[in-house]
């Protein structure tokens, strides 16, 4: 008899914890839904966005998850390890990319950042670098993806940035 009474308080405590956890999870879900105000997705399908403005992370390079080697030769490798892009609603952007270089006996990390202005026309986002005036373009999908195709020498690399959810 004593054994049953000892288990019961533990069971009640566990049920109380589960209810509290469910309540917290519900509040967190509502907070996330409120924070994603610009999209219209979820139960009925993928989210869609009316503007590319937002914060993005590199999702893939050449259809591979990070880190990805974009150049490799005997004794040398250049990899993309991280990348972020922010498109502000006022038409400005900033980007930060992290690369890793490996040569025999040495591994180095490099961070490259830049910024400037962006504009959307016919599904193409045009980026104008604020430092040197160079122009880059990306295809924008209203599902929250920007796709850059970069040709460097004989190599072509495709970077897909996905909006943070």
| pLDDT tens profile 62-102 | 999 999 999 999 999 999 999 999 999 999 999 999 999 99
Contacts of 93 (CB under 8 A, 6+ apart): 85, 86, 87, 115, 116, 117, 118, 127
pLDDT of residue 21: 35
Do residues 33 and 39 touch, judged by C-beta distance below 8 A?
A: no
pLDDT of residue 15: 38
Residue 83's region, left for phi above 0, alpha for psi from -120 to 50, else beta, is beta
pLDDT at 97: 98
- Could you give the angle at the alpha carbon of 63 between the alpha carbons of 58 and 68, nearest 5°? 65
108-133 mean pLDDT: 97
Q: Which two tokens stand for residue 150?
A: 């970069």
Average pLDDT over residues 41-54: 80
Structure confidence at residue 37 (pLDDT): 40
Residue with the larger pLDDT of the pair 91 and 4: 91
């Amino acid at each position: 008899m004593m054994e049953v009474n000892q288990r019961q308080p533990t069971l009640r405590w566990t049920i109380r914890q589960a209810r509290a956890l469910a309540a917290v999870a519900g509040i967190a879900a509502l907070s996330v839904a409120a924070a994603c105000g610009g999209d219209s997705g979820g139960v009925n399908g993928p989210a869609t966005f009316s503007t590319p403005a937002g914060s993005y992370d590199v999702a893939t390079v050449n259809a591979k998850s990070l880190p990805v080697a974009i150049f490799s030769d005997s004794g040398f490798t250049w990899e993309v390890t991280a990348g972020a892009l922010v498109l502000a609603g006022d038409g400005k952007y900033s980007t930060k990319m992290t690369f890793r270089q490996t040569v025999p006996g040495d591994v180095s990390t490099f961070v490259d950042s830049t910024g400037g202005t962006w504009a959307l026309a016919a599904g193409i986002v045009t980026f104008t670098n604020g430092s040197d005036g160079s122009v880059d373009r990306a295809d924008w999908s209203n599902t929250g993806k920007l796709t850059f195709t970069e040709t460097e020498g004989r190599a072509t690399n495709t970077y897909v940035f996905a909006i943070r959810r």
